[in-house]
Amino acid sequence: MASSQLIILAILVTSVATFISRFMGALTSEKVSVNSKIFQWFNCVAYSTLAALLGRMIVFPAGVLADSDLTIRLIVLISCIVLFIITKKNLVIPTIISAVLLGVLTNF
């Protein structure tokens, strides 16, 4: 198989896997109460996975982010968390500021 065919196959397989899991979630969502223990467990697992991925991105970055220093990444992270809290959980402003701040601090 050519490289482009493998990429297309990988996209198709991951799309089907994503669709199946979302479809099964939609089918079973009516039967699970938001206040149930299983729902809370899935919620905790989802947040912990996201936290682990973000932590890995900050501590062990790959690609262009690896060119910036760890202290710069931590300064950007802390300032954006504070900005997120100040702006009453607005996601847009901290996201834009994080990109600008990381670019400015990395170029100094």
Tens-of-pLDDT digits for all 108 residues of the chain?
Answer: 678 888 999 999 999 988 998 888 888 777 777 788 888 898 899 999 999 998 998 899 988 888 889 999 999 999 999 999 999 989 899 999 999 999 999 888
| Distance from C-alpha of 1 to C-alpha of 57, rounded to nearest angstrom | 33
Instruction: Report the predicted TM-score, pTM, of the whole model to 2 decimal places.
Output: 0.60
Residue 38, token pair as written in the block: 């299983």
| CA–CA gap between residue 62 and residue 44 (Å, rounded) | 26
What residues contact residue 77 under an 8 Å CB cut-off, 6+ apart?
58, 98
Q: Where are the beta strands (DSSP E) in the chain?
A: none
